[in-house]
Structure 1
């Protein structure tokens, strides 16, 4: 389902496509045409901002009256060392949260979207949910894990894909998705939970994938953005989403057949493509992103070939992006 027209969002070409089509990270903001401006009663597109939290994490701020509303996707800020990027991965690495650092980067969200339950997506969510009262949207596995870690059941919305949820000033559409595959056509810690775990998770291996989702967020009067948390997808579920902006997970192997062309075709070749989950997520956000060995350059080349009119934006941790994914500072 495409929610853009229903919510009065500007046309794709109005806000997102400038003169430098197909370029990577253009720095000159594109002005909206008169016919594409949202009605005054709607949120201005300039009142929406995005911050990349690394991995597949994002902070979305929607400024308005009487307050700014914040939505988080997969906020993993603590970024502790498991040895994953040095060839000495320890699945028994204890879970921990740097509460002050997480608070600095996540603010006071009203909604947290969780694509799946692996530690590099969920680890900091229990603390944020408990300390802010934010609503968490995720799978049944996410629900059971959060309950075991002290999050109130009333804060958690279990979804499967296909839900379209209306909030004050924005809509969140949920799509069924799939987890990335490694070179052996498998992935770490598969499995789902249908009841709370016998003991609360303590290590990274205690957090199973638990099915994977994607989220399309459509702020009133602004372009829509799709958020992926892993580099595979349900082609049938993605058709019809047609986001203006797509945060696309970069594949670490070639196991998924024609990943980039199939994905971009299913999404309708979005105006803006933002590769995510290509960074070393055990390095702090205070340092520049470091490639983790995934095929970022290959993704960019394939995306240019498949969708030459899409603008490619390689994000960094320090930049605040506007509604059109052009840097604000």
Structure 2
């Protein structure tokens, strides 16, 4: 996420049958709402919508119920995109930005606890009463920021949580690596720390991915960083995969291994390619290196799974699969 290196184009073609959707162009404007095959059940797929909130953030509305994934809306300047990154940047929450977008939430799924994923989670959880599902680090950071333990649900990966109209499968995953094969702010919190005050007080804290299966609707896979444990994905076979753009070339054969492990999703949606220190206004702001990585990701998906559709999202747009 933090180093600007060119994307590795080494790819190999996997032979497999996949869904019947055409691949979109690499433009930054999302096309028509995608449609993926649905499962049998009681809920209508047209009652389910997915809205991208930048980075790897999503709002999922399932009828009158709402699930959030990594909702980072405050989007303040740390110097990261100006080449002047300051790890002592104070944590900032912007209610005037958050409140108009978050009227409700039942569950908040946290992939990891870096500031661009976790920063706004405690505020949103306190405001809405939402349950926070995440790692043990997310649990302890939530306590440190004043959330009650009963509102925090620590997970390890492997759990399949039943919420009636939908289930959430938790997948143990990995954070992306920078150019030094390391990451910013590694570490976990195994006990309640002091209240976090700056972005470096929010470590990676282990990484999860999630798959939501909607009763009568699609199965959708969410990742918040561009690495994964390949064996942990076998059998998920989502209709739609929200795939993080690779930050560096440190992960070997990232796209073809990921797409194959997910059994060639019908729709692939790139995430974590925008400048997440700018407002959530369309078209999304993207740095030149990130634009190149986005194009490389789309090209790699085309090569690995020619029959998958690539949908490049815009902010706030309701997509129905």
Alignment correspondent of 1:213: 208
Matched, 1:168 2:173: no
Structure 1 position 131, deviation (Å): 1.2
Alignment correspondent of 2:299: 301
Aligned mate of 2:235, from 240, 249, 255:
240
Aligned mate of 1:100, from 91, 96, 101:
96
Matched, 1:57 2:57: yes
The answer to which structure, 1 or 2, has the higher relative contact order (CA under 8 A, 6+ apart) is 2
Alignment correspondent of 2:67: 71
Matched, 1:310 2:311: no
Alignment correspondent of 1:23: 24
The 1:132/1:188 distance shift into structure 2, 3 A limit, reads same
Moved more, 302-311 or 101-110: 101-110
Structure 1 position 287, deviation (Å): 4.2
Alignment correspondent of 1:258: 253
CA contact (8 A) 2:259 2:304 kept: yes
TM-score (ref. length: structure 1): 0.87
Over the aligned positions, Cα root-mean-square deviation in angstroms equals: 1.8
CA contact (8 A) 2:34 2:267 kept: no
Matched, 1:124 2:125: no
Instruction: Specify the SS of the correspondent of 2:142.
Output: helix
Instruction: Specify the SS of the correspondent of 1:214.
Output: strand
The aligned runs of 1:189-204 (5 Å cut-off) are 189-197=185-193, 199-204=194-199
Aligned equivalents of 2:36, 2:86: Cα separation in 1: 49
Aligned equivalents of 1:242, 1:28: Cα separation in 2: 21
Which ranges in structure 2 are unaligned for 5 or more consecutive residues? 1-16
Matched, 1:151 2:159: no
Structure 1 position 29, deviation (Å): 6.2
Instruction: Specify the SS of the correspondent of 1:303.
Output: helix
The 1:29/1:145 distance shift into structure 2, 3 A limit, reads closer
Structure 1 position 38, deviation (Å): 4.0
Moved more, 284-293 or 23-32: 23-32
Aligned equivalents of 1:17, 1:170: Cα separation in 2: 25
Aligned equivalents of 2:244, 2:173: Cα separation in 1: 12
Aligned mate of 1:274, from 269, 273, 276:
269
CA contact (8 A) 2:53 2:316 kept: no
CA contact (8 A) 2:113 2:138 kept: yes
CA contact (8 A) 1:38 1:44 kept: no
Q: Deviations over 1:38-87 (max 9, x none)?
A: 45xx1100000010000000000011xxxx00000000000000000000
TM-score (ref. length: structure 2): 0.89
The aligned length equals 298
Which ranges in structure 1 are unaligned for 5 or more consecutive residues? 1-11, 325-329
Alignment correspondent of 1:7: none
CA contact (8 A) 2:171 2:233 kept: yes
CA contact (8 A) 1:17 1:30 kept: no
The 1:61/1:265 distance shift into structure 2, 3 A limit, reads same
Moved over 6 A (4+): none
Structure 1 position 104, deviation (Å): 1.7
